[in-house]
Structure 1
Amino acid sequence: MAVLDIGIDTAVVSPVRRTRRVGNLFWLALGWIIFAVFVATFAGFLLAHSPTDMDMLERRASPSLVHWLGTDALGRDELARLVYGARISLIVGLCAPIIGITIGGALGILAGYFRGRFETIVVGSMDVLLAFPPLVFALAMVAFLGQSVFNLTCILGVLGIPAFMRVARAATLSLAEREFVVAARALGASHARILLHELLPNVLLPLFAFFLLGVAVTIVVEGALSFLGLGVPPPASSWGSMIGEGRESLEIAPRLAFIPAVTMFLTVLSFNLVGDTLRALTDPRQGAL
């Protein structure tokens, strides 16, 4: 009878182990991202046509064996422009959040750890930056600095700093008084060691999940600026500029606007799905799934 009681107590006390799983949508989204990055990276080896070569005799040509997606209003190969446009969109979409996560993440960790006057200054400066409407700020800076991939990347990177700072600060605040940080401080660890060895590895997880969501937002913003004519200068193409050029041919060849729009939609959706899944997996409040 005693053995039976012990078995019952053990069954009640021991927690039920449940593993976190990701669905098929996650793998499809991850596969699309890998495919898009691969094609954009090796576009020069995969494509036979140049995105800037014009043939006025082949204007708005229908898809064929020579031009798989047809040609645009200037006779340029639509597939080549789509792939090279992916290169521009992904460069801006990936590099701009890197600026945000580097500067904003560092400021957020320092503000959440040291607190006090430094935190007040950092949070106040981020609030000032957030007071400017992001799209209006981007339009004004692009018009002032000029149109280039570098300028556009820097502007969008600066706009992403406040969001990454808040994520890093919130994660640091939740970890700064945890047992392993208190133990490291009691053992005489320096502030630099605590920040680099105890806090940074734990803060990087939610930051990376938010980074993927930031990539999706940046691609949309870059597309909006290019659609308005303030993105990368011609003859370089991006998905936003292709949509803007294709709107003039909606009645004759709607595919010129719809194909880059669908491509951008799938890419943004994929980054959102992957980022959302990673956020749920790394968020301790979600519990076991």
Structure 2
Amino acid sequence: MSKTSILLMSRETEDPVYHRRSPWTLMIQRFKKNKRAIVGLWMVIIFVCIAIFARWLAPYDPIAQNMQIILNPPSLSHPFGTDEYGRDILSRVIYGAQISLMVGVVGVLISIVFGVALGTISGYFGGKADILIMRIMDVFMAFPSFLLALAIVSVLGPGMVNVMIAIGIFSIPAFARISRSSVMSVNNKEYIEAAKSMGSGHVRIIFKHVIPNSIAPIIVLSTMRIATAILTASGLSFLGMGAQPPTPELGAMLSSGRDYLRSDPHVSTIPGLAIMFMVLAFNMLGDGIRDALDPKMKL
């Protein structure tokens, strides 16, 4: 740790107001000091805005073909060039970012709902329920995530809806484990014992005390899992198991452009860079949130 960080931390401890601040206020203050996290946040905001306003930002129809401008290099009329069917790559990348974000967010939401529910039950009640749930999660975690997603999509059939389901399923064990450990650390706190002694039911205790006080690690994992989901969805589409033509999905665009990698590299390079920056943005944001919530930084 640098001398500057130690000095700032010592000043914070000497400030009496510091000890009256809420943990979330302290987290925001630490997050603001992390320049890499701020860059990641702005990158995420930009991609989210692109996804929301894709209809107005895209200069052309992403699936409209024009055989007269096949494989044109980047120009003023087509800043990212055109693909093998004369479609505008910029428009397709914009809509592809929209699809990738939707798949990542929906897939992670599915895993949050089921993973947090299973992890909370396991950590709060323990006993046979804990053993059963964790052994099932161990079975899922025995398979590599991408191979498990590929197997699920192979059974359900290709398509973005099935990709979301596959991403949600293979991410459940991670959320279940992190939720279980967080709940177990909270379960023995004094306010939980006080709520039980006052006659509060299990459902009330879980939703009012346990989950709100164990949500921080889940937020960090959710942010990073969106990046994993985007990468997995792109990989499945690259293999032909995700988005089907002519859907403008980044992984599918990367796959269709590999045949022109030497003669017209822009067809596959630009979608690949879009995937890279989206994944980088969420990873940087997740790292920043994790550092801001790190218990070792709390004084």
TM-score (norm. length: structure 1) = 0.90
Equivalence for 2:68: 57
Give SS of 2:82's match: coil
Q: Is residue 143 of structure 1 aligned with residue 154 of structure 2?
A: yes
Equivalence for 1:268: 279
Equivalence for 1:66: 77
Pairing 1:210-229 to 2, within 5 Å after superposition: 210-229=221-240
- Determine which structure has more spread, i.e. the larger CA radius of gyration: 1
Equivalence for 2:111: 100
Give SS of 2:44's match: helix
Following TM superposition, where does structure 1 have runs of at least 4 consecutive aligned residues deviating by more than 3 angstroms?
A: 14-19
The gaps in structure 1 that reach 5 residues or longer are: 1-11
* Alpha carbons 1:62, 1:70 under 8 Å: kept: yes
Equivalence for 2:201: 190
Q: Matched residues in 1 for 2:249 and 2:297: separation?
A: 38
Equivalence for 1:4: none
Q: Is residue 155 of structure 1 aligned with residue 166 of structure 2?
A: yes
Give SS of 1:123's match: helix
% of aligned pairs identical? 36
Pairing 1:29-68 to 2, within 5 Å after superposition: 29-68=40-79
Q: Larger deviation: 222-231 or 114-123?
A: 222-231
* Cα gap change, 1:267 to 1:22, in 2 (>3 Å): farther
* Alpha carbons 2:37, 2:287 under 8 Å: kept: no
Q: Matched residues in 2 for 1:66 and 1:189: separation?
A: 65
1:196-238 residue CA offsets vs partner (Å, 9 max, x unmatched): 1111111222111110000001111111111111111111021
Give SS of 2:169's match: helix
Q: Matched residues in 1 for 2:202 and 2:294: separation?
A: 25
The offset of 1:22, in angstroms, is 3.0
* Alpha carbons 1:22, 1:277 under 8 Å: kept: no
Q: Matched residues in 2 for 1:279 and 1:201: separation?
A: 17
The offset of 1:15, in angstroms, is 4.1
The gaps in structure 2 that reach 5 residues or longer are: 1-9, 19-28
Q: Larger deviation: 180-189 or 206-215?
A: 180-189
Instruction: Give RMSD over aligned pairs.
Output: 1.8
Q: Matched residues in 1 for 2:177 and 2:14: separation?
A: 34
Equivalence for 1:122: 133
Q: Matched residues in 1 for 2:170 and 2:33: separation?
A: 31
